[in-house]
Amino acid sequence: MAGAGKRPQISPRAALMFQGGIGVVGLVVIVLFGIPVQFDGMSFGGAIVWGLAGSVATYAVIMVLTRLPWLLRDSLESHLEQLHRFACDYSWPVLVTLAVFAGVGEELLFRGAIQGWLAQHMSATVAIVAASVLFGLVHYLSFTYFLVATGLGLVLGTAYMLTDSLLLVMVWHGVYDMIALYCLRRYPEWFGVRVG
């Protein structure tokens, strides 16, 4: 049930279709351009374990960054309030599905398709940076949020390059989103979000 008895601004079906559509676009690009996608650099179990560990570590770093206002020049407070409202708009099954779709879909598009295609035409470093900047721009809410998203893209892109496991970054991204949505919804005060 949506938070505070209000209907979400975007219907759950539309949100799920949009997020799922990102993965479809990524997959189509990969197939059309024959981009090699690496899944076999790590065992299935290893990808799951390291993806879980990476998501928890990344979230811990983000939590520290949100508490250092001198480090992040413009405030994240209003954006965290928006994300809190977003998390409260949807039921838990919808939020979990959105996080899974984001992990799979966005990694297919940004790491698999974009970074993969760029890596065929330029250095791996340039491919990671370019795909990460695009990832940051797509998630742009403010310059600070852009920097955080770009930083996350750099971490995920580097992990993909080092492990040859798109599954690892899919798990990492999806679980990170689940943790973020859970904490924003359940413990908004951790982020300075006032409820009520």
- pLDDT of amino acid 2: 40
For 71-124, the pLDDT digits (tens) are 554 556 777 788 888 899 999 999 999 999 999 999 999 999 999 999 999 999
Q: Tell me how far the alpha carbon of residue 95 is from its chain's centroid.
A: 13
Nearest to 169, CA basis, from 58, 66, 61, 60: 58
Distance CA 169, CA 147 (A): 19
Residue 156 near residue 172 (C-beta atoms within 8 A): yes
Residue 171 near residue 103 (C-beta atoms within 8 A): yes
- DSSP code of 189? G
Cα first-last separation, the chain: 18
Beta-carbon-side half-sphere exposure of residue 47 (alpha carbons within 13 Å)? 21
- pLDDT of amino acid 8: 65
Task: State the burial class of residue 93 (Cβ atoms within 10 Å of its Cβ: 0-12, 13-18, 19+).
Answer: exposed
Residue type at position 82: Q
- pLDDT of amino acid 5: 47
pLDDT mean by block of 10 residues, the chain; 196 residues: 55 93 96 94 95 96 76 64 89 96 97 97 97 96 86 97 97 97 90 75
Distance CA 12, CA 89 (A): 9
- DSSP code of 70? T
- pLDDT of amino acid 51: 97
- pLDDT of amino acid 1: 34
- pLDDT of amino acid 122: 96
Nearest to 110, CA basis, from 134, 93, 126: 134
Residue 62 near residue 70 (C-beta atoms within 8 A): no
Q: Residues with Cβ < 8 Å from 162, sequence gap 6 or more? A: none
Full-model pTM:
0.91
